[in-house]
Structure 1
Amino acid sequence: MGRALELFRRTLEDSVRVLGEDHPDTLACRNNLAYVYESAGDAGRAVELFERTLADRERVLGEDQPDTLASRNNLAYAYASAGDVGRAVELYERTLEDCKRVLGEDHPDTLASRNNLAHAYASAGDVGRAAELYERTLEDCKRVLSPGHPMIATVQGNLDWARDA
């Protein structure tokens, strides 16, 4: 992981130098570096970078831009990974509402956002609420996505887990 982390850091530095702090590609590089920190188990540094990326994307791209919505989702995931499930649930709820409004109920990102919120409910101990949301999400995935789409299997697995919990 160390070598990958160094490459992502250098890529971000180069992007800032060549494109500037606010360029969308620079913001994407910062998001990617945050993801690597999270994967490496450094939740604190990941949260810090995801928070900065979200703030910058809101300022530069707007609150409703799809990359901004993705940043909000990433930050919620990082909060959950860092053990702050309450903050994660709040942010996932906001993200889902914004995805529905901006992208529509049936957009794959909206379906993924709903799945993520269900997971956060389960992490917060509300497995019944999570199972209900997984059921609805699975129905919509089967209706909207092509048969065999990987999201269907993911949501099905999450629902099976919630029912067994």
Structure 2
Amino acid sequence: MYVSYLALTLQDQGKYDESETMHRRTLEERKKILGPDHPITLNSARNLATVLKAQGMFEESETMHRDTLNGYEKALGPDHPDTLSCTNDLALVLQGQGKYEESETMHRRTLEKQADILGPDHPIILMSTNNLGVVLKHQGKDDAPSYTGEAEGILGPDHPNTLMSTNNLALVLQLQEKYEESETMHLRTLNGCKKALGPDHPHTLMSANNLATVLRRQGKCEEAETMHRRTLEKREKILGPDHPITLNSAHNLALVLQDQGKYEESVMIHRHILEKREKLLGPDHPITLSSANNLA
């Protein structure tokens, strides 16, 4: 039990590598003692799948979430809170891979059942609504809802769920090409994350990356470059230079350098990313092919 709590604490602190090790240890122990289909074992599997997603290991996370969701549905039923939470988690993993239609279906299923059980103003409903809103906007559907204001009123402006809701709204505004509003929301999220989580927490770095991206969209390339370099440097120290999230930061830096005509450094970074992704993902993976396209 202590190992499980420690894994969750490390996860909350953004120490994902250590948390993953602890979660794997807990999962194996619970499989041996309780069996693979016990709800407590399934909780461990879900925790591990969540920390894998946080590290950008989407394929492994998706597989584990699907297996865990099947286990929950058999052990607890389709409407149990743990089953619905796992459905939401799977929807987020699918969204992270660009599988928007299936993600939307999962989000709608979760939201409908949660609203019946918890009521429309529950904080979990507000988060589920925001998650659905983001995936709808990725598909160009303008009926995407957002409940950032309600989340702030219920939870407070610096609550992690409020900050995630604010981040989601900023991303929706960015997809609508409302860059000034998006920048304001991203900056608000970043300041809140620094205050609540610290400057080096993964969520803070994600927020900094998102803000830098929208700055680039507005042509504020020097400011975006500075922010991308800072984020990349921190991710290299915390996650390592070959981590998928670190490589995403390097990709974003290469793009903003390219926009400024700094082609030599941009090409050098793109080549580095391609080499790493070929080793990590294989030459035919869609992300690897996208990296190769950047050098075409």
**Structure 2 contact 134–171 (Cα < 8 Å) conserved:** no
Distance 1:94 1:5, change over 3 A: closer
In the alignment, structure 1 residue 145 sits paired with structure 2 residue 274:
no
Count of residue correspondences: 160
SS of 1:14 mapped into structure 2: helix
Alignment partner of 2:143 out of 28, 38, 45:
45
- What are the superposed Cα offsets for residues 121-154 of structure 1, whole Å, 9 maximum, x if unpaired? 0001111111111011111111222443222101
In the alignment, structure 1 residue 156 sits paired with structure 2 residue 258:
no
Aligned partners of 1:114, 1:2: CA distance in 2, in Å? 28
**Structure 2 contact 131–168 (Cα < 8 Å) conserved:** no
Distance 1:92 1:2, change over 3 A: closer
User: What letter corresponds to residue 45 of structure 1 in structure 2?
Assistant: D
TM-score by length of 1: 0.88
- The answer for the alignment partner of 2:78 in structure 1 is none
RMSD of the TM alignment (CA)? 1.8
- What are the superposed Cα offsets for residues 13-47 of structure 1, whole Å, 9 maximum, x if unpaired? 321111111223322321222122112211x322x
Q: Equivalent pairs: percent with the same residue?
A: 36
SS of 1:45 mapped into structure 2: coil
Alignment partner of 1:17 out of 116, 122, 125:
116
SS of 2:199 mapped into structure 1: coil
**Structure 2 contact 138–175 (Cα < 8 Å) conserved:** no
In the alignment, structure 1 residue 106 sits paired with structure 2 residue 200:
yes
In the alignment, structure 1 residue 92 sits paired with structure 2 residue 215:
no
- The answer for the alignment partner of 2:277 in structure 1 is none
Aligned partners of 1:3, 1:147: CA distance in 2, in Å? 32
Question: Within 5 A, what are the aligned runs for 1:120-139?
Answer: 120-139=214-233
Distance 1:33 1:131, change over 3 A: same
- The answer for the alignment partner of 1:78 in structure 2 is 172
TM-score by length of 2: 0.51
**Structure 2 contact 134–169 (Cα < 8 Å) conserved:** no
- The answer for the alignment partner of 1:26 in structure 2 is 125
Relative contact order (C-alpha < 8 Å, sep 6+): which is higher?
1
Distance 1:101 1:34, change over 3 A: same
**Structure 2 contact 232–246 (Cα < 8 Å) conserved:** yes
